[in-house]
């Protein structure tokens, strides 16, 4: 297949002057054209299955609202005006793109079908994860329910994989707290206790 069959042309208009200046400077520093830099940023952002799923899934939106109701915390409304900033795109579900990629790698996530399965399977235990994740935060990010679902999915994995999940994605949580939360989720899901070193 040639480029014409796999690539499309996208024209971006009305870019604020300060944003254009930032793109110009960063493209110069990186030795790229502005078009190449913007193309790279768009490709990286919109090739992320987790970010795409958060922004398009009605189930995630519904469960986000449910978690907001249960926790009493407001839900971020970054899309209410129909717009989205790059910083919001890069932190969907309170997650960076590198974290999103790591979830995909460790949980074997390839596409939206995998995420739909994970999300639907986790629905009965989202309230449990919300209670576990009681944190001093002012509001919940869009996609928080999917982030909780990913933890619930990971909790069912073997010790070795979960150790990698902890080191890559939950290092800020204390080790004892992490394993206690895994045990709680496994117990709620009627899974056998985790076989791990004492």
Domain encompassing residue 126: 49-188
Q: Is residue 119 part of a domain?
A: yes
- 28 and 86 fall within a common domain: no
pLDDT for 135 equals 65
Q: In this structure, are 99 and 11 located in the same domain?
A: no
Q: What is the DSSP letter of 170?
A: -
- Same domain for 128 and 31: no
On whether both 43 and 59 belong to a single domain, the answer is no
41 plus 74 within the same structural domain: no
Residue 153 contacts residue 121 (beta carbons within 8 Å): yes
**194 assigned to some structural domain:** no
169 and 123 in a common domain: yes
The predicted structure's pLDDT at residue 114: 97
pLDDT at 40: 77
What are 164's strand-pairing partners? none
Q: How many domains does the chain have?
A: 2
92, 74: one domain: yes
- 8 in the same domain as 106: no
Measured N-to-C along each axis, helices 144-155 and 159-169 cross at an angle, to the nearest 10 degrees, of: 150
CB 144 within 8 A of CB 85: no
pLDDT at 3: 56
The answer to whether residue 107 is domain-embedded is: yes
Asked whether residue 198 is domain-assigned, the answer is no
pLDDT at 190: 97
What is the per-residue pLDDT for 95? Answer: 73
Same domain, 53 and 107: yes
Whether 196 is in a domain gets the answer: no
173 and 76 housed in the same domain? yes
At residue 149, the pLDDT reads 97
- Measure the CA–CA gap between 180 and 129, rounded to whole angstroms: 12
The answer to whether residue 183 is domain-embedded is yes
In a domain, 97, yes or no: yes
- How high is the mean pLDDT in each 10-residue block of the chain (198 residues)? 67 82 84 81 75 92 94 73 36 69 94 96 96 77 92 96 93 88 97 85
**Is residue 104 domain-shared with residue 10, that is, in the same domain?**
no
**pLDDT attached to residue 184:** 97
Identify whether residues 115 and 30 lie together within a single domain. Answer: no
């Amino acid at each position: 297949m040639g480029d014409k069959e796999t690539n499309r042309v996208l024209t971006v208009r009305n870019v604020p002057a300060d944003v254009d200046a930032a793109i110009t400077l960063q493209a110069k520093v990186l030795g790229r054209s502005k078009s190449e830099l913007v193309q790279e940023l768009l490709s990286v952002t919109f090739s992320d299955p987790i970010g795409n799923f958060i922004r398009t899934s009605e189930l995630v939106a519904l469960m986000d609202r449910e978690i907001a109701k249960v926790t009493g915390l407001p839900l971020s409304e970054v899309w209410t005006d129909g717009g989205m900033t790059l910083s919001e795109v890069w932190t969907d579900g309170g997650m960076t793109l590198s974290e999103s990629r790591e979830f995909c790698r460790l949980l074997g996530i390839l596409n939206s079908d995998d995420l739909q399965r994970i999300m639907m399977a986790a629905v009965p235990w989202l309230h449990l994860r919300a209670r576990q994740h009681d944190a001093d935060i002012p509001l919940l990010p869009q996609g928080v329910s999917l982030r909780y679902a990913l933890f619930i999915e990971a909790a069912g994995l073997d010790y070795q994989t979960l150790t990698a999940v902890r080191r890559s994605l939950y290092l800020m949580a204390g080790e004892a707290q992490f394993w206690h939360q895994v045990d709680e989720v496994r117990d709620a899901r009627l899974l056998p206790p985790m076989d791990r070193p004492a």
